[in-house]
Structure formats: structure tokens, C-alpha cells
Amino acid sequence: MVAEARLADYGSGLAPATDGWFVVNASDATWLTHDVFGASCVFESPDAEFADLGVRLSVLEPGQPNGLYHGEETQEGFLVLHGVCLLLVEGEERPLRAWDFFHCPNGTEHILVGAGDGPCVLLMTGNRKPGRPIHYPVSAVAVRHRAGVEVATTSPPEAYAGYRDERIERPPYWDALPWA
């Protein structure tokens, strides 16, 4: 039998403090905010990621990428829940709107960038594989959208060296989100 996890307040919302199953509403869960890469509802403890499957809600303002253009050795999936964004994939641009789903097989180079005139809300899932290879290629399309590296690397710390860490806090526009 699997026990219910105890939820604790991490300053910007609730997250599991112990192992086990749990239920938490996104409006009550822990949020991380980054000035460049938007805000994310992480559902998991800031101290420990889920072992097998990563799940996040990401809120991007127009022009904000959800990270840096990359490809990795795990499958990911992205569902646009609200608003619009631009998918940068394999050197191409593809507009996405609410209810569009992007399946991202292993090795697919990609990143998403908020577009339109308001926030874009994404449901993001991905397989967790410790030590999985990841690469950040140079992409003119990604660099044009401030979502790419100038020098190719396989090191996340190198790719993100010029950026500050995300903060455990709700985004400043919290009350304007679709569910607020």
C-alpha cells in the first residue's frame, strides 16, 4: 500500500514533503519564477524531483522562451492550454494555439516561446532519466528569439551560465492568470 504524501508550504505554494501519492490544485502548488524563462508550477518538492516523469505548467509572456533551444535523449510532450506560442523545432518556426499538442521524440531540437498579446499556459511532460545526454546546438532561429546559445555545448551549466536561477515565488501577474 502506498501512503499519502504530506504536503508542506515552500513559500510559493504546496509541494510534497514526503514520498507517496497526493492531490494538489495548481493554484495552491509551488511556483518558480524566472525573469527570462517565465513561471512554472512544478507540483514536486523544490528539494526532490519526481523519479520517472516530470510534469510542469509553464506560463510564458510574449517573447519569453521556456528555456534554451536543445535536444535530449528523452521523450517530451507539450500541450498549449491557453494563449499562443511559437514552437522552434528542428530549425523551423511553428505557431501553436490553445489545445495544440507537440510530441517531441528523443533527440528533437526544440524550445517554445510565448507569443500573442498575453500569457501562454503550457502543460509540459517529460521522461526523467538521470544523466541523460542533452545538447544545445547553435540555431539562428533560436538566437533570433533570444532562446539559443552562441556556442554549442552539451553542458547545461555552460548553456545557462549567463542566467540567474529561478526563484521560489508566484509570478508577479498571478491574479491575471486564467484560473486566478
Which CATH number covers residue 122? Answer: 2.60.120.10
Determine the Cα–Cα distance for residues 42 and 39; give it in Å rounded to an integer: 9
How many C-beta atoms surround the C-beta of residue 164 within 10 A?
9
Is 171 within the bounds of a domain?
A: no
Is 84 within the bounds of a domain?
A: yes
Determine the Cα–Cα distance for residues 136 and 29; give it in Å rounded to an integer: 30
Is 9 within the bounds of a domain?
A: no
- Please count the structural domains in the chain: 1
Q: b/e per residue, 102-127, with b = 16+ CB within 10 A?
A: bebeeeebbbbbbbeeebbbbbbebe
Find the domain containing 127 and state its range: 49-162
Is 16 within the bounds of a domain?
A: no
Q: pLDDT digit of tens for each residue in the chain (180 aa)?
A: 999 999 999 988 999 999 999 999 988 999 999 999 999 999 988 777 888 899 999 999 999 999 999 999 999 999 999 999 999 999 999 999 999 999 999 999 999 999 999 999 999 999 887 778 999 999 999 999 999 999 999 999 999 999 999 999 888 777 776 665
Is 44 within the bounds of a domain?
A: no
Is 14 within the bounds of a domain?
A: no
Per-residue confidence (pLDDT) for residue 177, from 0 to 100 = 66
Is 116 within the bounds of a domain?
A: yes
What is the DSSP-derived secondary structure letter of residue 144? H
Is 26 within the bounds of a domain?
A: no
**Closest alpha carbon to 108 in 84, 130, 91:** 91
